[in-house]
Amino acid sequence: MTALMRPALELSGVSRSFGAVRALSGVTLTIEAGKCLGLVGHNGAGKSTLMNILAGALRPDQGTLLFDGQTMDNVTVASAQKLGVRCVFQELSLCPNLTVAENARVLHPSIKGLGWRKRAGKLIGDMLDRIFPGHDIKPDALAADLSIGRRQMVEIARAFTVTDGGQLRLVILDEPTSSLDATTARQLLAFVREEIRTGVSCILISHMLGEVLDYSDQIAVMKNGQLVATGPVSDFDRQSLVDLMSGGEHPDRGVHARAAHKFENAPIAVRAERAGRGLPFIARHGEVIGLAGLAGHGQTEFLVSVYDAAKKSRSEIHVDGEVCFVAGDRQSDGVFPLWSIADNIAVNSLRVLRNRGLLARSLEHALAQKWGSVMNIKAPSLEDEILSLSGGNQQKALFARALATTSSVVLMDDPMRGVDIGTKLDVYDIIAKEAAEGRSFVWYTTEFEELEYCDRIYVFQNGRIVSELAGDEITEVGVIGSSFKDSNAA
């Protein structure tokens, strides 16, 4: 028994930054052989970065990794795999055009020669049988034909397969149950407990606090790239985890002046009553509405449907006036990389920038200048390329683009991701000012502080609006409480 208590993996002082954002700072963590470590934390706490480092997909800027007492330098995905480290990533890494068996083969170069399909099929089939008894996945089914849940099952089973006397040492599961139903999720967790008894370690990353508490030996809580608490599972309960993830901050914090506003009589700017999608949504003119909940629970989709509804009316969503959109994922939804800052700001207002039918550079320049200085964009010249700006200033340009329009509704898709605090404070002030002038803001954010700038918030879960909080109810605990309503806790 004591032989199993040696550490499988030790991290000390591991840090990693992306540009100006420090995703991990000085994480020191020990994972014991034959133990399951539950890793919790809110969005952006650094869990995924940590996991990518363990999997060899990212390299730390600082710090050391000791695997089985040996320092691991220059870890690559392949070498980590050889050492027995396997990951189940959140985005699926199956090839949709290959069968289940072929996908298993991708991970095992040694399966080849005559009869390889049968061997690969048996390998993955047996593992599926072990983990998810009663599953109905055939090894020759195409991955694309499987439901998301089944694909996740294949991916998990594939991570546990070994060939050629290889050994499994550490399995990292990132939100493994997010697309599994209750039964298969329980099957998986039970299997993990069983594997652990053979000396395999496991890191379980999950937003389902219930399952983390039930199935882990130890728990580590992360916040803002740091480890805020570690210890045996018995030290924690649901409430203490929520408190730790939110930093122990409690209800009375920072209720802003905004709460004083009264909007009952303001005209409605956006009304959405989507069948089967939970509570109705209402935004009035001059209101700042927050969309909360865990990342990827339907907030962006909601914003996009409001945006499209304003262009082409839909029965479920009514929008009064024009809308504009501030992208959060700058690279994929917002920035035009070949253009100057000024062009990027002006693009949504081109209709008013014409002189005798042709776009007038002077008008464009004046508009960009005006909103560039309102947003306080720091650049030698607005004619510089947009990509010469820092991420935060690029984001300001996107805000400038939106505010320069005549739109009465501004949709914001978590626009402050990876933006420095100075920019954020600037933007918060401008939002408050613009709202006072009658614009409404619908603001999806993954950061609690920002929700406090909202008049009301809607909490999303699985694509549905599950609760509405206003004024004093907007607290971290309140939001986390509503977003972590999982079946185990209910």
Residue 219 or residue 326: which is nearer to another protein going by CB? Answer: 326
Verify binding: residue 112, another protein, rule CB under 8 A.
yes
Verify binding: residue 97, another protein, rule CB under 8 A.
yes
Give the residue, chosen from 93, 226, 240, 376, that forms a contact with another protein under the rule CB under 8 A: 93
CB of 358 to another protein, least distance (A): 4
CB of 422 to another protein, least distance (A): 24
CB of 175 to another protein, least distance (A): 13
- Give the separation between CA 222 and CA 44, rounded to whole angstroms: 9
Residue 145 or residue 301: which is nearer to another protein going by CB? Answer: 145
Verify binding: residue 279, another protein, rule CB under 8 A.
no
- Give the separation between CA 237 and CA 90, rounded to whole angstroms: 25
Give the residue, chosen from 350, 421, 470, 489, that forms a contact with another protein under the rule CB under 8 A: 350
Verify binding: residue 95, another protein, rule CB under 8 A.
yes
Give the residue, chosen from 257, 357, 362, 437, that forms a contact with another protein under the rule CB under 8 A: 357
Mark the segment that binds another protein (CB under 8 A) among 32-40, 195-203, 347-355, 446-454. Answer: 347-355
Verify binding: residue 336, another protein, rule CB under 8 A.
yes
- Give the separation between CA 347 and CA 335, rounded to whole angstroms: 10
Mark the segment that binds another protein (CB under 8 A) among 20-28, 138-146, 224-232, 452-460. Answer: 138-146
Residue count at the site for another protein (CB under 8 A)?
67
Verify binding: residue 214, another protein, rule CB under 8 A.
no
Give the residue, chosen from 4, 21, 142, 282, that forms a contact with another protein under the rule CB under 8 A: 142
CB of 77 to another protein, least distance (A): 5
Residues of this chain, 144-203, that bind another protein according to CB under 8 A: 144-150, 179, 181-182, 185
CA distances from 470 to 38, 243, 314 (A): 33, 21, 27
Residues of this chain, 403-422, that bind another protein according to CB under 8 A: 405
Q: Can you read off the two tokens belonging to residue 15?
A: 């840090």
CB of 457 to another protein, least distance (A): 20
Mark the segment that binds another protein (CB under 8 A) among 25-33, 164-172, 328-336, 450-458. Answer: 328-336
CB of 232 to another protein, least distance (A): 29
Residue 21 or residue 347: which is nearer to another protein going by CB? Answer: 347
Verify binding: residue 134, another protein, rule CB under 8 A.
no
CA distances from 123 to 110, 171, 261 (A): 12, 18, 63
Task: Write a three-state SS string for the chain.
Answer: CHHHHCEEEEEEEEEEEECCEEEEEEEEEEEECCCEEEEEECCCCCHHHHHHHHCCCCCCCEEEEEECCEECCCCCHHHHHHCCEEEECCCCCCCCCCEHHHHHHHHCCCCCCCCHHHHHHHHHHHHHHHHCCCCCCCCCCEHHHCCHHHHHHHHHHHHHCCCCCCCCCEEEEECCCCCCCHHHHHHHHHHHHHHHCCCCEEEEECCCHHHHHHHCCEEEEEECCEEEEEEEHHHCCHHHHHHHHCCCCCCCCCCCHHHHCCCCCCCEEEEECCCCCECCEEEECCCEEEEECCCCCCHHHHHHHHHHHHHCCCCCEEECCCEEEECCCHHHHHCCCCCEHHHHHHHHHHHHHEECCEECHHHHHHHHHHHHHHCCCCCCCCCCEHHHCCHHHHHHHHHHHHHCCCCCEEEEECCCCCCCHHHHHHHHHHHHHHHHCCCEEEEECCCHHHHCCCCEEEEEECCEEEEEEEHHHCCHHHHHHHHCCCCCCC
Verify binding: residue 262, another protein, rule CB under 8 A.
no
Verify binding: residue 118, another protein, rule CB under 8 A.
no
Give the residue, chosen from 54, 172, 327, 419, that forms a contact with another protein under the rule CB under 8 A: 327
Residue 60 or residue 334: which is nearer to another protein going by CB? Answer: 334
- Give the separation between CA 399 and CA 420, rounded to whole angstroms: 15
Q: Do 46 and 24 meet the contact criterion of CB atoms below 8 Å apart?
A: yes
Verify binding: residue 461, another protein, rule CB under 8 A.
yes
Give the residue, chosen from 2, 3, 73, 113, that forms a contact with another protein under the rule CB under 8 A: 113
Give the residue, chosen from 13, 19, 69, 109, that forms a contact with another protein under the rule CB under 8 A: 109
Verify binding: residue 86, another protein, rule CB under 8 A.
no
User: How would you label 192-208 residue by residue, b for 16+ Cβ within 10 Å and e otherwise?
Assistant: beebbeebbbbbbbbbb
Task: Give the contact letters, 47-66, x = binds to another protein (CB under 8 A), - = no.
Answer: ----------x---------
Task: Give the contact letters, 286-325, x = binds to another protein (CB under 8 A), - = no.
Answer: ---------------------x----------------xx
Binding footprint of another protein on the chain (CB under 8 A): 57, 76-78, 81, 93-98, 102-103, 105-107, 109, 111-113, 116-117, 141-142, 144-150, 179, 181-182, 185, 307, 324-325, 327, 332-339, 343, 347-348, 350-351, 354, 357-359, 384-385, 387-388, 401, 405, 461-462, 464, 487, 490
